[in-house]
Amino acid sequence: MNQPVIHSAETREPASAALATKPIGLIAFARLAGKNMLWVIPDETKHQTYLRGPVNIHWICDPEMITEILIGQGRTFPKAKFTKDILGSAVGNGLMLSEGEKWKVQRHRYAPLFAARNLPMLVTHFAKTGEEFAQQALEGGGEIDVARLSPEATLMNISRVMFSGTETVAPPVIRAGLKRYFEFISFISLFDLMGLPSWVPRRKWLKSKEPVTSMRDLARQVIESRRSEGREEPQDFLDLMIETLEEDVEDIETTVDNLLTFVVAGHETAANTMAWGLYLLALYPEVQAVLREEVIAACGDGPVTFESLQKMPRLLAHVRETLRLYPAAAFFARDANAELTVKGVTFKKGDALFFPIYSLHRNSELWEAPEEYRAERFLGEKPRRGQFIPFGDGPRICIGAQYAETEITVLMASLIRRVDLSMSDKPIPEPVLTFTMRPGGPMMLRAKPVQG
C-alpha cells in the first residue's frame, strides 16, 4: 500500500503525488481509490500517452485521443457510472450529471450566466472577499494554514454571490451548512468504485444524509426568497440565475440541483487551486515578488477590478501553472457506449475510459521538465488541444471555467498585495484525490505584512 509522501519544507521541488508502481487488482483498486485516487493511477501514465489497464480499463493521456473522445466521435460517451453513484445524492440530476437532451437544455439555459459580460459585477464581490482573506492571513499569528483559509475564502464568496441578501437565512448558517455538505460528498464508497449495483448497501448509507437534505432545503429557501424580492437589476450570481429562469422555466428541484452543482464545482476548484498556488508562491519568493509588483502596478491600493485583471498576465500564468501541477479535477472517466477506434486503439462498448489529468499535465512526452514550476509556459504559445485540460474540454467543458480562473486570480492578487508568504519549517502534505485533489493535511506557511 502507498504511504503518504511528506515533502520537506526545505526543498525547491514542488510537492508531488506517489502513483502506483505495481499492478493493482480490482478489490485493492477500490480500497485504495477510496482513500486517494492518485494511488491507483499507474506511474507509467506520466511517461506514456496510452496504457491498457486490466479488464476493460484504458488510461488515456494522448492529446489527440482525448480530443477525439471529448470533442469528436466519442463526445456522446456518458460520464462513468461510478461518478454518478458517488455524486448523485449530492447534486441530483443537474448540469454536472445529466445526459442527452436534458443536459443540452440545461447547458443552453445556464450558459449566459457565465458570460464574460457578468464578470465585472462578480469581481466586485470577489474583491471584497479578497480584502477579508488578506486580513485573516495577517491575523494568523505569523503562520497560516492555507489549506484551511482558502476554503474559508471561497465559502465566503459563495455566501456572497449565491446566498446573499436574504434575511431568512444568515450567512453563518449557510457557511456551516456548506461545510457539512462538502464533508459528506467527499466520502467515496468502496462499492461505488467497484461499480456494484445501486441496491447493494453502502457504508455511506449509515451516515446521515442530513447535510445534503439540509443544504437542499436552504438552497430552496434562498431561491424562493430571492424570487419574491423581484429585483430589477441583478446584483450577484443568484440574481442572474433567477433572471435566466424567468424566461426559461424549470422545476424547483432541478434549479436546486444546479445551484448546488455550481456551488460544489466552484468551491472545490477555487479553494484547492488557491491553496496550492499560495504554496508555490512561498516556495518561489522571487516569483511572488514579481507578481506583487504586477498587482500593485495594475490596481495600486484600490480594490482589484475586472479591468485591472487584464494587466496581470503573469499572475494568470501562475494560476494556470498551478492548475497544471495541481488540477482540482485530477481525474475523470467516461463509459464507452459504442465501439470507437482512435489512433489504432479500439474502445468497445462498456469499456472504461480513464483520463488521469494529473499525469497528463506532468507527462514527460508532452511537457519539458514537467515536474518543475515554470509559469512562463503560459505566457507564449498555448499548449496543443487536449494537453492542458484542468476544466475538461469539448461540449462538457466546465461551464464555470472563466468564473473560476477569475475568482482565483482576484483572491490571490488581493492577498499577495498585502501579505508576504514564505515557507515554514512544517512539512508539506502530499496531494490527495477523492472528490477533488486537495492537500492531504495542513499546509503551513509563514505570513507577514508587506513592507511598503
Give the start-to-end residue ranges of the domains of the chain: 76-341+374-449
User: 8 pLDDT band (50/70/90 cuts)?
Assistant: low
Instruction: State which amino acid sits at residue 339.
Output: E
For the cut 90, the answer to whether the pLDDT of residue 162 exceeds it is no
Among 203-207, 357-361, 367-371, 428-432, where is mean pLDDT lowest?
203-207
Q: Which residue has the cell 511537457?
A: 367
What is the predicted pLDDT for the residue at 200?
44
In this prediction, residue 86 has a pLDDT band, given cuts at 50, 70 and 90, of low
Rounded to whole angstroms, the Cα distance separating 366 from 387 reads 7
What is the pLDDT, as a whole number, of residue 146? 97
* Confidence band of 430 (pLDDT split at 50, 70, 90): very high
Nearest in space to 189 (alpha carbons), one of 37, 31, 320, 299: 31
Q: What is the mean pLDDT of the chain?
A: 87
Q: Minimal CA–CA distance to 165: which of 230, 252, 248?
A: 230
Architecture of domain 76-341+374-449: Orthogonal Bundle (1.10)
Length of the chain: 452
pLDDT band at 356 (very low <50, low <70, confident <90, very high): very high
Q: In this structure, what are the phi and psi dihedrals at residue 355, rounded to the nearest 5 degrees?
A: -115, 95
Please report the pLDDT score of residue 76 as a whole number. 93
pLDDT at residue 193, as a whole number: 47
C-alpha cell of 413? Answer: 492578487
Digit-coded pLDDT (tens) for 107-123? 988 888 888 999 999 99
Give the pLDDT of residue 198: 53
Please state the rounded mean pLDDT for residues 298-307.
93
pLDDT of residue 169: 56
Residue 206 has which C-alpha cell? 449509515
Q: What pTM value is reported for the model?
A: 0.89
Q: In the prediction, which pLDDT does 16 show?
A: 95
Q: How confident is the model at residue 1 (pLDDT cuts 50, 70, 90)?
A: very low
Q: What percent of the chain has pLDDT over 70?
A: 88
